[in-house]
Amino acid sequence: MPDLRARVLDQVDALRDEMVSFLVELLRVPTVNPPGDHYEDCAQLIGKRLEEQGFEVEYHAAEGRPEHTATHPRINVVGARRGEGNGPVVHINGHFDVVPAGEGWTVDPFGGEIRDNRIYGRGSCDMKGGLAAGIFAYEALRRAGARLAGTVEISGTVDEESGGFAGVAWLAEHGRIAKGRTDHVIIPEPLNVDRICIGHRGVYWFEILTKGRIAHGCMPFLGVSAIDHMGAILEAMRLELQPVLAARTTEMPVVPEGARHSTLNVNALVGGQPAAGIQSPCVADRCRAIFDRRFLIEEGFEAAKAEIVELLEQTAGRIPDLEYELDDLMIVHPVQAPAGSPLVASLKHSISEVLHTEPDIVASPGTYDHKHFARIAGVEDCVAYGPGILDLAHQPDEYCDLDDLVNSTKVMALTTLDLAGTV
């Protein structure tokens, strides 16, 4: 139906100013996480817009989650526009929480300022821009008179930046997003307008505590230094484990290139007395460190953890008094859209139609809500595709290019049309 496709693209162009003013409104609600400010205002703003577009709108408060409090309620919004036939359900999901503005801005981070064809503000790139694009992709279909066979759902969810447990995970745990109910999911995270992101590596956050014995600092040989022992563990990681990890490469197309390998980062290290306090001569009897291990889909979590346990055992075997505890803090399994995904095929086609370029297929260096769709809801046909530039996420003077915004809206509109089908 070539003339319908052309009408849809024309409607996106015609909607440009309306979409930009809606995005300005979104950016002016400072949904900063932590702590999770103004979520209800933002959910209402999205819900009202979806109602105007003919969606049935539901609000889901994350009852039962400890972070859902009276001062910082966790409110998600889900809109559904029923199809006229028996087509599949296409779900577009965006998180509307943003990280704190931080220092170094030259514009108001919550002003929605437009300059040189760019819209500036915290969340413009990650990912209120993508959310606006998803909402207006449907609006363009509606105004073009498309009669869709399948249902279109659009959700605005909370807390992605802190793990998404009161957001997408909550909706999945409560059956609002589920295999059999949800067929294809587009998450317009900022992975660049000409790239399709099919998944991400796994995450294993863990804590190691070394335990020593306190003694007078003038006779350290009478005690056991937990800091020295943590040092031995860190050294073993650097000299023995890091080279092994760096030599492993995944088949997944993770960007940037350096993230195609296994990695390990030390997030935090605390031992002995607080450095800012008054010092007394003591051997440190406690040292604690937090680690961020990113593992490959080919490795799997069990093997990644076993390797850490083995390194700790070997180090303890070499140093007689070394005592440690290992605690798991967070485990995220790797996810990847299946080969032959209809969503990926359609996005590829739409991107070449709109941008006249062959899209790159990539995987994300970090995780996003894809994990909850795949792991909790069991919805496998999920990708990230959106207008923002990956490198600008969480930076000062974050912006979204307005042409990218419009182009990604066109891509999402055509892909929704392909997947939902017409009656």
Q: Which is nearer to Zn ion, 87 or 388 (CB)?
A: 388
- Least Å distance, CB 171 to Zn ion, is 16
Stretch of 118-126, 220-228, 306-314, 346-354 contacting Zn ion, by CB under 5 A: 118-126
Question: Which residue is closest to Zn ion by CB?
Answer: 126
> Of 189 and 285, which has the nearer Cβ to Zn ion?
189
Rounded Cα gap, residues 331 and 183, in angstroms: 26
Residue 279: exposure state from Cβ atoms within 10 A (0-12, 13-18, ≥19): exposed
CB 128 within 8 A of CB 98: yes
Write the binding mask 183 to 222 for Zn ion: x where contact by CB under 5 A, - elsewhere: ------x---------------------------------
Q: Residue 309 half-sphere exposure, CB side, CA atoms within 13 Å? A: 8
When the beta carbons of 127 and 402 are compared against Zn ion, the nearer one is 127
Binding segment for Zn ion among 127-135, 136-144, 219-227, 253-261 (CB under 5 A)?
127-135
Return the number of the residue (289 or 405) whose C-beta is nearest Zn ion: 405
Min separation Cβ 127 and Zn ion, Å: 4
Scanning 120-128, 142-150, 199-207, 396-404 for contacts with Zn ion by CB under 5 A, the matching segment is 120-128
Asked if 127 is part of the footprint of Zn ion (rule: CB under 5 A), the reply reads yes
From the list 35-43, 126-134, 223-231, 294-302, the region that binds Zn ion by CB under 5 A is: 126-134
Residue 97 binds Zn ion (CB under 5 A): no
Size of site (CB under 5 A) for Zn ion: 3
Q: Are 169 and 376 in contact (CB under 8 A)?
A: yes
**Helices and strands (DSSP H and E) totals, the chain:** 10, 16
Q: Which of 67, 126, 194, 369 binds Zn ion (CB under 5 A)?
A: 126
Q: Helix or strand or coil: residue 219?
A: coil
Burial (CB count <10 Å: 0-12, 13-18, 19+), residue 113: middle
Longest dimension (CA), the chain: 86
CA distance 310 to 315: 9
Nearest distance, CB of residue 394 and Zn ion, angstroms: 9
Q: Residue 384: what residue type? A: A
Whole-number minimum distance, CB 274 to Zn ion, in Å? Answer: 34
Query: In this complex, which beta carbon is closest to Zn ion, that of residue 189 or of residue 418?
Result: 189
Shortest distance, CB of residue 47 to Zn ion, whole angstroms?
Answer: 20
The reply on whether position 159 binds Zn ion by CB under 5 A is no
Smallest separation, CB 39 to Zn ion (Å)? 15
Name which of 126 and 398 has its Cβ closer to Zn ion. Answer: 126
Taking the C-alpha atoms of residue 351 and residue 197, their distance in angstroms, rounded to an integer, is: 13
Residue 283 exposure: Cα atoms within 13 Å on the Cβ side: 19
Distances (CA, A) of 55 to 88, 138, 141, 152, 229: 16, 10, 13, 9, 59
Residue ranges that bind Zn ion, judged by CB under 5 A: 126-127, 189
